[in-house]
Amino acid sequence: MANINITLHHGLVNSTPKQRAAAQTLGLNKIGKTVTREDTKAVRGQVAVLRHLVTVEEVD
Domain 3-59 is of which CATH architecture? Answer: 2-Layer Sandwich (3.30)
Q: Which residues contact 60 (CB under 8 A, 6 or more apart)?
A: 2
Supply the pLDDT for residue 1. Answer: 76
45-50: long-range contacts at Cβ-Cβ below 8 A with a sequence spacing of 24 or more?
A: 46/22, 47/4, 47/6, 49/18, 49/19, 49/22, 50/8, 50/19, 50/22, 50/23, 50/26
Query: Mean pLDDT in each 10-residue stretch from start to end of the chain (60 residues)?
Result: 95 96 96 96 97 94
Supply the pLDDT for residue 10. Answer: 95
Supply the pLDDT for residue 60. Answer: 80
Helix (H/G/I), strand (E/B), else coil: 44: helix
CB of 4 closer than 8 Å to CB of 43: yes
The domain locations on the chain are 3-59
Supply the pLDDT for residue 18. Answer: 97
